[in-house]
Amino acid sequence: MSETPMIRTVDLAQHFPIRKGLPGRPGAVVRAIDGVSIDIPRRQVVGLVGESGSGKSTFGRAVMALDPPTSGRVEFDGTDLSQLSRAALAPYRRRMQMVFQDPFSSLNPRMSVAETLGMPLRFREGGAGRSERRDRAAEMLEMVGLPRSYLDRFPHEFSGGQRQRIGIARALMTSPDFLMADEVVSALDVSVQAQVLNLFARLQREMELTMLFITHDLAVVGHVSDIVAVMYLGRIVEIAPTRALFSGPRHPYTEALLSAAPSPVPGGARKRIILEGDVPSPVNPPSGCPFRTRCPYAIAACAEDRPALAAVGPDHRSACIRTDLDLMPATGRRTEAALEGSPG
């Protein structure tokens, strides 16, 4: 028997009404996430990758129980969060924290670092005293590689990378078990991005954190994650251990994403799949497989039923009826170049 996952979502859906319906006629809804069932095992990092509008941030918010789901549920450590009252949810909130893309807009410009970091502890049962909060804040600053002397400074005095570290320190104040990171390195320069990714890796190891790491960047997701889930139009289309997903994608959308991501590795010829058009509207998604309108391998049957996420290998699931395809791995370009270079 495997242990209870830290997070389990069961058929989780989040629909947002955008137009009121007339009596007898339903209004339009955006199906931001539409039936997502995944597990985030303890002490593992699950990377969620998708393009804008895929629903990945909505999924993150739903997992954090920030918005009540339209249907389905989120279980945290075996407890169904949707059944809990606000008060009953509070102890769970302390165990789950989040970090955002733009650290500047998520830090209060009028609060010193010490106040910002102390905030999550102020409303704790009993409430931590001022000096206790300050000590803990100093400890967390050092944990994220910033000097204690920053406690009395304000957000505008810091660079983007430093602000992101402060955002991470704030998330760690309550010693959470689970951390949700939404596009946390997207706004950073590459050299700073590397520092922050290394920091996440170290914290995850040292504090035995379970993480949901949301990003649009495939190379980043491949670097930080144990398991990668690919989202398209509010649905998971493929999920697998990182190596398996990158070396043997089984969904055409994953293949297209991997081939579209530019790589600085020099290496001769590259086969690139260029998808046509944009992601369809989640108000009126295509029938059957949501990806079929852009899929180079679509056949008539793809329009019929919505493909289920089915096992295609060990811990590897894909939602595609074309199980006959031999898709190109992320490393395929290199292999191809090597083959072309060899004489036989």
Partner 1 sequence: MTERLRVQDLSVHFRSERREVQVVHDLSFTLEAGRTLALVGESGSGKSVTSLALMGLLPPPPQSRTTGSALLEGRDGADLLGIPESRRRRLRGDRIAMIFQEPLTSLNPVHSVGAQLVEAIRSHRSVSRRAAWDRAEELLDEVGIPEPAARLASFPHELSGGMRQRVMIAIALALEPDVLIADEPTTALDVTVQAQILDLLRRVQERTGMAMLFITHDFGVVADIAHRTVVMYAGRMVEAGPTEDILRRPLMPYTSGLMASVPLLETAGTGRSELATIDGFVPDPAAPPAGCAFHPRCAHNRPGRCDVPPIAVEAPAPDRSIRCARWRELAEEVR
**Site membership for partner 1, residue 314 (CB under 8 A):** no
Q: Does 70 bind partner 1 (CB under 8 A)?
A: no
268: left (phi over 0), alpha (psi -120 to 50) or beta: left
Q: Which of 37, 70, 82, 263 touches partner 1 by CB under 8 A?
A: 263
- Cβ proximity to partner 1: between 259 and 318 the closer is 259
3-state SS string over 20-75? CCCCCCCCCEEEEEEEECCEECCCCEEEEECCCCCCHHHHHHHHCCCCCCCEEEEE
Q: How far is CA 117 from CA 66, 108, 156, 177, in A?
A: 21, 11, 16, 18
Instruction: Report the DSSP beta bridge partners of residue 31.
Output: 15
Task: Compose the 151-190 pattern: x for residues touching partner 1 by CB under 8 A, - for all others.
Answer: --------x-----------------------------xx
Does position 311 interact with partner 1 (CB under 8 A)? The reply is no
Q: Which position among 23, 24, 147, 262 is part of the footprint of partner 1 (CB under 8 A)?
A: 262
- For position 309 contacting partner 1 by CB under 8 A, the verdict is no
**Binding residues for partner 1, how many (CB under 8 A)?**
50
Q: Fill in the per-residue mask, 21 to 60: x = in contact with partner 1 (CB under 8 A), - = not in contact.
A: ------------------------------xx--------
Q: Residue 209 in contact with residue 177, Cβ under 8 Å?
A: yes
By CB under 8 A, residue 245 contacts partner 1: yes
218 CB-contact burial (10 Å; exposed 0-12 / middle 13-18 / buried 19+): buried
- CB within 8 A of 283, min separation 6: which ones? 18, 28, 29, 30, 31
Give 41 or 222: the residue with its C-beta nearer to partner 1.
Answer: 222
Interface residues with partner 1 (CB under 8 A) are 51-52, 159, 189-191, 193-195, 197-198, 201, 216, 218-225, 228, 241-247, 256-266, 272, 274-279, 330-331, 334
